[in-house]
């Protein structure tokens, strides 16, 4: 947007942003439809450390918090796009854990 005082430009930018957000959520829904997509997302939620504390007592905490922040964004996208997929991913992960134990 070149001129934030131009109402037409502001509206056009808003439409573009809404379209981009809608497309991103549709991308997430598409990924979550596939078992491989759910495994991929779950794996990265785990790697991001969203299920554990990020505090270490030293500077590693900052790195862990950055990684965790990305994981929380991914989780927020999942919950906005298809919340029931989170429960499904958790159940599937538990089954994998039991089968691999």
Task: Answer yes or no: is 32 within a domain.
Answer: yes
Indicate the number of domains in the chain: 1
Convert the pLDDT of each residue in 12-46 to its tens digit.
Answer: 888 999 999 999 999 999 999 999 999 999 999 99
Convert the pLDDT of each residue in 47-57 to its tens digit.
Answer: 999 999 999 99
pTM above 0.75, yes or no: yes
Task: Answer yes or no: is 2 within a domain.
Answer: no
> What is the dihedral sign for C-alpha 53, 56, 57, 63?
negative
Which residue pairs, CB below 8 angstroms and at least 24 apart, start in 48-52? 48/72, 48/74, 50/75
Q: How many CB atoms lie within 10 A of CB 73?
A: 12
Give the residue numbers spanning the domain of 17: 7-100
For residues 1 and 10, the answer to whether their CB atoms sit within 8 Å is yes
Task: Answer yes or no: is 25 within a domain.
Answer: yes
Task: Answer yes or no: is 74 within a domain.
Answer: yes
Task: Answer yes or no: is 81 within a domain.
Answer: yes
């Amino acid at each position: 947007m070149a001129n934030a005082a131009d109402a037409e430009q502001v509206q056009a930018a808003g439409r573009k942003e809404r379209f981009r957000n809608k497309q991103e959520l549709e991308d997430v829904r598409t990924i979550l439809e596939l078992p491989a997509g759910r495994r991929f997302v779950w794996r990265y939620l785990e790697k991001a450390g969203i299920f554990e504390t990020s505090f270490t007592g030293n500077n590693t905490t900052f790195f862990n918090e950055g990684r965790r922040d990305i994981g929380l964004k991914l989780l927020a996208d999942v919950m906005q796009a298809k919340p029931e997929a989170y429960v499904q991913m958790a159940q599937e992960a538990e089954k994998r854990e039991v089968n691999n134990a």
